[in-house]
Amino acid sequence: MSSGGREFRCSYCGAPLDVTPDSVLVVCQYCGRPNFVVSDVDTGGILAVPALNSDEIARRAVAAARRELKLKSATFGDPDLYYLPYYFASVEMAASYRARVRVTYSSGRTTVTRTVDVSGSLNYSATVPVLARRAVAGIATEKLAQHYLSTKPQTKPLDQIELGYRTSKAFLAAEFGRDRARGIAMRDAVDGLLARVDKDAGERALKALRLHSARTAVLDKTVDYQVGELDLSPLTYLPAWLVPYTVDEAQYHMAFAGWDGELLAALEPITVSGRLRSIIGSVLASGILAGIGGIALPQSPLVGAVFLFFGAGISAAIGKNVVASIKVKK
Ligand SMILES: [Zn+2]
């Protein structure tokens, strides 16, 4: 089943539907009812979290501007809702390792460096979010997934989600199915496991030297690990609201978790002149990313727009100074 070349018809009135490769939900032009277009991606069923309405988010944005961003005045645009596709993979691992750790600490006026061999074993379990649309990945999309895992809002089958009239273009199609999601989740989980091993090895090295705190670096390690069953959720749509706001004629965005209005990230106006260079860097970077969004996905202005915003997260990673122009809660 593929959207290319195949004609889709409204399941209520039979009228032809205008389906693009990015369509997940299409509102029939004739009867006005929403049709879900399931792609050929193997999603394992589709769940979604219901979103707050735009009035609620508009109020939240005004409060966040005042309380969290400390803005004296700002003009707000209409909030835009996006549903982003995620898989969540739960995985348990057991690892045993040997590591050589360099420990650096100061003793009186001298800096002492010692090398310690340690070994240990540990269990590691994690729930790894996998955004099924890699190009929009950024600070806000990571925070959205983490906020979902910590607040555990109720999910519903996609066709039971109440849809406002503006919702029809909010759903971003998933780019890949469960097999690739499993692969990505496994890579991320192994990265997490190796980071945990480094931490554990550092702690053991400190203990061996009877130190409370010191700088540790793992120089070399051998890790054997076993992976338990990897449990993958169905494709799960998480809502995010983007609110544009204007300060001194420049436009910025805030991103909110769609279900409870938690502020995830905001592009924050910065007026300190010493940071001018980082602002220029940030603008250039997001300009370039916006260009890529427009070129790579010419039929999908919606995705270009999201890419532009979440590109703010990506540009934050490009230059260290640029991070200063992005305010992230927590
Ligand atoms: Zn219809």
Q: How far does the centroid of ligand 1 lie from the alpha carbon of residue 155, in Å?
A: 27
pLDDT of 215 reads 94
Q: Which of 139-148, 189-198, 230-239, 265-274 is the least confident region?
A: 265-274
Which residue matches tokens 């122009």?
325
Question: Is the pLDDT score of 295 beyond 70?
Answer: no
Please check whether residue 293 is in contact with residue 311, taking contact to mean a CB–CB distance below 8 angstroms: yes
Look-up of token digits 């990505």 = 184
Angle between helices 276-296 and 301-318 (to 10 degrees): 140
CA of 10 to the centre of ligand 1 (A): 5
Distance from Cα 9 to the centre of ligand 1, integer Å: 8
Residue 259: which pLDDT band, with cuts at 50, 70 and 90?
Answer: very high
Q: Is the pLDDT of residue 195 over 50?
A: yes
The band of 133, judged by pLDDT with boundaries at 50, 70 and 90, is confident
Rounded to an integer, the average pLDDT of 283-290 is 39
Q: Which residue has the higher pLDDT, 87 or 11?
A: 87
- Find the 168 Cα to ligand 1 centroid distance in Å: 14
Reading the block at residue 176, the tokens are 């890949």
d(CA 160, ligand 1 centre) in Å: 18
CA distance 241 to 122: 39
Cα separation, 321 vs 325, whole angstroms:
8
What pLDDT, on a 0 to 100 scale, did the predictor assign at position 41? 66
What does the pLDDT look like over 201-254, one tens digit per residue?
A: 999 999 999 998 899 999 999 999 998 889 999 999 999 998 888 888 777 888
Q: How much is the average pLDDT of 312-329? A: 34
Q: Do 204 and 71 form a contact (C-beta atoms < 8 A)?
A: no
Q: How does pLDDT run across 139-155, given as a tens digit for each residue?
A: 788 889 999 999 999 99
Give the mean pLDDT of the chain: 77
Ligand 1 center from residue 35 Cα (angstroms): 8
CA of 18 to the centre of ligand 1 (A): 11
Rounded Cα distance between 314 and 330, Å, is: 18
**Which residues have C-beta under 5 Å from ligand 1, the single-atom ion?**
10, 12-13, 15, 28, 30-31
Distance 28 CA to ligand 1 centre (A): 5
Give me the mean pLDDT over the 169-177 stretch: 79
More confident residue, 294 or 58: 58
Q: How far is the CA of 34 from the centre of ligand 1 (A)?
A: 8
Query: Tens of pLDDT along 33-81?
Result: 777 776 666 777 889 999 998 899 999 999 988 888 788 888 898 888 8
Q: State mean pLDDT over 277-301.
A: 35
